Amino acid sequence: MRRFAVISAATYGYMGAPRTPGSHHGTAFTTTFNGWDEEKAKTLEGTFVKSGRRLEGARVVKIWDPDLAAAKRLADVCGIDEVAASAEAACDGVDAVLIIDDGSGAQWKYAVHPLKKGVPVFCDKPLAMTAREAQGVAKMVRETKTPFMSASSLRFVPDIVKLREELPQLGNVYLASAACGNELVYYGIHALSMIYGVLGGGAV
């Protein structure tokens, strides 16, 4: 059984706004692995996304959030064993760390400690708000050789996988387009991921 930690997973604050209880991605990822207590979930304040699918073979065993009270409430609902005292402490004794989109655009900073410790990291989108910051993260990943992922799940949806498999039958592709909604820096990764999923890296 793989042991995961989720970081910055219980609250959300868009671009410097005060953080409020609830996290779309934090709750969706956590319930995917741990499930939830239905009665306790009714008392939880803020956004709570119940995953439509459970993935076996892994559990979230640690959580940290700047709002420790919110982290404790989510831990209780989802059966998370430990509320860590710090983001760094959450990385101890786990097989991987999931860093959640918390609205700050700077969640990549939580990746520095586990990368240096050799703990595999998934960093939720957006990876960073500037190309310079993203390049800095990529440089650290190469230097530490720690497994790291930041991506959109859309490259893995069945229709995209099927289109990639059928691509040779289409001949040369000279133009492909994909769309996304809302702010480009937050949601552009979804469009790019579909393009890369079908055509491969370097397509854009």
Give me the CATH code for the 2-149 domain, please: 3.40.50.720
For the stretch 83-135, pLDDT in tens is 999 999 999 999 999 999 999 999 999 999 999 999 999 999 999 999 999 99
Tokens 């859309």 belong to residue = 154
Lowest mean pLDDT: which of 96-100, 109-113, 173-177, 181-185?
A: 181-185
Please check the confidence at residue 181 and state whether its pLDDT lies above 90: no
Is the pLDDT at 204 greater than 70, yes or no?
A: no
Count CB neighbours of 76 within 10 A: 15
Quick one: which of 156, 102, 148 has its CA closest to 126? 102
Distance (Å, whole) CA 191 – CA 178: 5
Is the pLDDT at 174 greater than 70? The verdict is yes
Would you state the torsion angle of the CA atoms of residues 201, 100, 80, 71, taken in this order, to the nearest 10 degrees? 180
- In the chain, which residues fall in CATH 3.40.50.720? 2-149
Short-list 11, 12, 5, CA closest to 186 = 12
Q: Looking at per-residue confidence, does 106 or 182 come out higher? A: 106
